[in-house]
């Protein structure tokens, strides 16, 4: 091999490296999209299971089951928040979910029977506030501030919100 072959070998190596980089990028992108899809499916499956627990609580008219349902719902919301912070739930999906949380905070309630047979109600808002007061979630956990924002105001700028709650 002469001196003139070296530039061709270097050029071939450059193209090979560029091709490998593009392939790696495409693979990483496909893996990221698959992970996002998997996260969404897992969250929706967990939500479906929770809705069965809600139905059971409603049918049993049990205060404990009603409160347990809401607590488990907030546990799911905590998980969703962590995944969203990592960029594994798209902003538009989280925005839709936050709209439901605002509505639930304002209106959602479950009925149960007291020990004396009287009808009573427990609300999403009551359980959220009780969990906060009991420090069920660490008071410094950004999730608490995130949920308070979600409950109290219409969040319209998800990019700004993501920046505020991004992991440091």
pLDDT digits (tens, 9 = 90+) for 12-43: 677 677 666 666 665 656 666 777 888 888 99
Query: Please, what sign has the CA dihedral across residues 85, 108, 140, 164?
Result: positive
Token look-up 């501030």 returns 145
The residue segments making up the domain with residue 14 are 5-165
Look at the pTM and tell me if it is higher than 0.85. Answer: no
- Residue positions counted in the chain: 168
> What are 51-94's pLDDT values in tens digits?
999 999 999 999 999 999 999 999 999 999 999 998 889 998 99
What is the distance between the alpha carbons of residues 12 and 2, in angstroms, rounded to a whole number? 16
Token look-up 């799911």 returns 76
What is the distance between the alpha carbons of residues 168 and 166, in angstroms, rounded to a whole number? 6
Nearby residues of 164 by Cβ (< 8 Å), 6 or more positions away? none
Q: How many domains does the chain have?
A: 1
């Amino acid at each position: 091999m002469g001196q003139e072959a070296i530039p061709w070998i270097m050029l071939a190596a450059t193209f090979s490296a560029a091709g490998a980089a593009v392939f790696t990028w495409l693979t990483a992108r496909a893996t990221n999209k698959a992970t996002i899809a998997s996260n969404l499916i897992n969250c929706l499956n967990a939500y479906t299971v929770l809705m069965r627990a809600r139905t059971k609580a409603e049918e049993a008219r049990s205060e404990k089951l009603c409160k347990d349902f809401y607590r488990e719902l907030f546990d799911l919301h905590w998980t969703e928040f962590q995944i969203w912070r990592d960029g594994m739930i798209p902003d538009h999906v989280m925005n839709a979910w936050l709209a439901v949380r605002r509505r639930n905070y304002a209106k959602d309630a479950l009925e149960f029977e007291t020990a004396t047979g009287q009808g009573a109600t427990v609300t999403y808002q009551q359980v959220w506030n009780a969990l906060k007061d009991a420090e069920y979630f660490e008071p410094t956990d950004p999730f608490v501030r995130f949920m308070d924002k979600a409950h109290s105001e219409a969040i319209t700028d998800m990019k700004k919100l993501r920046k505020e709650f991004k992991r440091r």
